[in-house]
Amino acid sequence: MNVGENKVVSITYLLRENDANGELIQEVNEERPFVYLFGQGGLLPAFKSNLEGLEDGDIFDFKLSKEDAYGAPSDENIIDLPKKIFEVDGKVDESLLKVGETVPMEDQEGMPLVGIIAELGDEVVKMDFNHPLAGMDLHFCGKVLEVREPSPEELEHGHAHGPEGH
Ligand SMILES: [Zn+2]
């Protein structure tokens, strides 16, 4: 069966910066493959088009330029926030506020957003909301483990289910 719209696809891959010899960013292996309902959002379009049409057992190896991946980092995504919004019960937990720490937050519409603490001031925390992979060319190599039809439930939910359900 070929990778295409509304098929459940399981893949393993190595993600490296730049090319096949670049720094390893992420490894997805056969113990915990990446399983998803193809065509249901959340994937980079260029990543999707590189997998489309492959079959069970096929190997893939491709590069996405940063323009096709997460774009260039922008200063507009670096924002000063008042330190007091990090207060819980009137106190800031200083052990959580460290440069380089990732902080899950929400935007004005309540959508989840991940920020990295870039700088700490007395009153202000500089947060970097650029995607961690912004500015990078990405190299993927991996294997298609399985392509199957979704269950009616998976189609209804718009995502793939593991062997034990969700
Ligand atoms: Zn579900």
* Per-residue pLDDT at 76: 94
The tokens describing 161, both together, are 């289910």
Residue 164 forms part of a structural domain = no
Q: Same domain, yes or no, for 88 and 40?
A: no
Total-model pTM: 0.80
DSSP conformational letter for 5: T
Query: Is there a domain that residue 120 lies in?
Result: yes
157 Cα–ligand 1 center, Å: 5
Same domain? 31 vs 53: yes
Residues 144 and 93 in one domain: no
pLDDT of residue 43: 85
Query: Does any domain span residue 3?
Result: no
Domain-embedded: residue 90: yes
Q: What is the mean pLDDT of each run of 10 residues along the chain (166 residues)?
A: 96 97 96 93 90 97 96 94 88 86 84 89 93 94 97 94 80
71 CA from centroid of ligand 1 (Å): 31
Q: To which H or E segment does residue 154 belong?
A: helix 152-157
What's the confidence (pLDDT) of residue 95? 81
One domain, residues 52 and 90: no
Q: Which residues surround ligand 1, an ion (CB under 5 A)?
A: 157
Cα(162) to ligand 1 centroid in Å equals: 9
* CATH number of the CATH domain containing 107: 2.40.10.330
- Residue 153 CA to ligand 1 center (angstroms) comes to 7
